[in-house]
Structure formats: C-alpha cells, structure tokens
A = this chain, B = another copy of it.
C-alpha cells in the first residue's frame, strides 16, 4: 500500500466555492475513485488556499491512470481546473506531484 500526499493551490477568490463543491462531490465521482483504488482519500484546505491531498492506494500511477480513463473524471476535472493556481496548463489531477514520505508509524 502506498501513502500519497500531494499539494495544490486553490485561487484565493474561489476558496469558498471550492469548499462547497467538495461538501457535495457527485456520487458517481466517489464511486469511480473507489473503483479505481483511491482509498482513505482526504483533502485538507489551509485558509490561504493551500490544498493537501492524502490517500492510500496499491499503486498511485495505476490509480491515476485508471481514474483518467473514466468519463466522470474528465467532467469533474474540467469543472475543477478553474479553481486552481499555476497548473501550467495541466489538469489538476495531472499536476499532483507526490511529496516524499520521510516517516511512518502504523
């Protein structure tokens, strides 16, 4: 099992809307995440828009690729793209660069 942590940055003027959208993620999107191996997946938001993602998965590259291949993900990411800063033209899911785990205690 891999533990994955990534960072994104929500635009300051979209933070409240981002929060509201994530309180009500489409059931179809939740099911696709589960089906493609995204487990114990949380998003945490700092007041300035820094967003931390944490999840557990067998293989993050495989989980991303499988999610990428779903139709619901394309629709969701198209709506989410405008919420983020400096994604260099990448979709938010493509811009998720995992940090290095330096400590773990079960």
Are B101 and A42 neighbours in the complex by a CB distance under 8 Å?
A: yes
- Total number of A residues with any Cβ neighbor in B under 8 Å: 32
Residues from chain B with a CB closer than 8 A to the CB of A45 are 99-100, 102
- A88-104: CB near B (< 8 Å → 1, else 0) gives 00000000001111111
Q: Is the interface of A mostly helix, strand, loop or mixed?
A: strand
Residues of chain A at the chain B interface (Cβ within 8 Å):
3, 5, 7, 18-19, 22-23, 25, 30, 33-34, 38-46, 50, 52, 54, 98-106
- Also in contact, A106 and B44, with CB within 8 A (given A52-B99, A54-B54): no
Are A25 and B103 neighbours in the complex by a CB distance under 8 Å?
A: yes
Q: How far is the CB of A53 from chain B (nearest CB, A)?
A: 9
